[in-house]
Amino acid sequence: MIYIILQRFAELFYSNYNTKKLLKNGAREYYAKHYPFFVILHTSWIISLLIFISHDQDPNIILLILFCILQLLRFWVLISLGKYWTTRIIHLDGAKLVRKGPYRWINHPNYVIVFFEVLILPLVFGSWIIAIIFTVLNYFLLLYRISLENKVLKYS
């Protein structure tokens, strides 16, 4: 759990850095009002894991390995997007759509990874309830987010 908390804070720091730099270079943020819902969802997910999972629960090793593989894929996404990786919907006119790394095969690999992270980590510790509740909420929020991103890409 310490890893997840530190990772999310590091990503927020990196995202904020990239966002500020992109905005300074003329990019614009779109649909900012939905962003707090992601913060609330992910914070609640982490808090739920901390509160409701027994600290002496043995992890499911296979699911833990799968979760670790997701973390490697997550870093691949961050590296592939580089200075364009952000947790917000930011568009810079004239910037080409990234088509390297996992973006060669799928349009929103980060969201696929996040979907499975939210599902698998609670299951590592046998918490089906947390897995189901947050995966469903995350799924609908991601669908909405993807529709917003696609709208920005379509009209830019």
Summarize pLDDT for 70-123 with one digit per residue, the tens: 999 999 999 999 999 999 999 999 999 999 999 999 999 999 999 999 999 999
Domain that holds residue 121: 2-154
Q: For the domain that residue 73 is a member of, what is the CATH number?
A: 1.20.120.1630
What SS3 class is residue 89? strand
Q: pTM for the complete prediction?
A: 0.93
- For position 155, what pLDDT does the model report? 80
- Structure-derived torsion over alpha carbons of residues 21, 25, 29, 30, reported in degrees to the nearest 10: -140
Question: pLDDT digits over 14-60, tens only?
Answer: 999 999 999 999 999 999 999 999 999 999 999 999 999 988 889 99
* Residue 121 one-letter amino acid: L
Q: Please give the radius of gyration of the chain, using alpha carbons only, rounded to the nearest integer.
A: 16
The total number of residues written for the chain in this structure = 156
* Residue 19 one-letter amino acid: T
Q: Six-digit token pair at 111?
A: 């969201």
Total domains, the chain = 1
Q: Of 48, 101, 99, 39, whose CA–CA distance to 72 is shortest?
A: 101
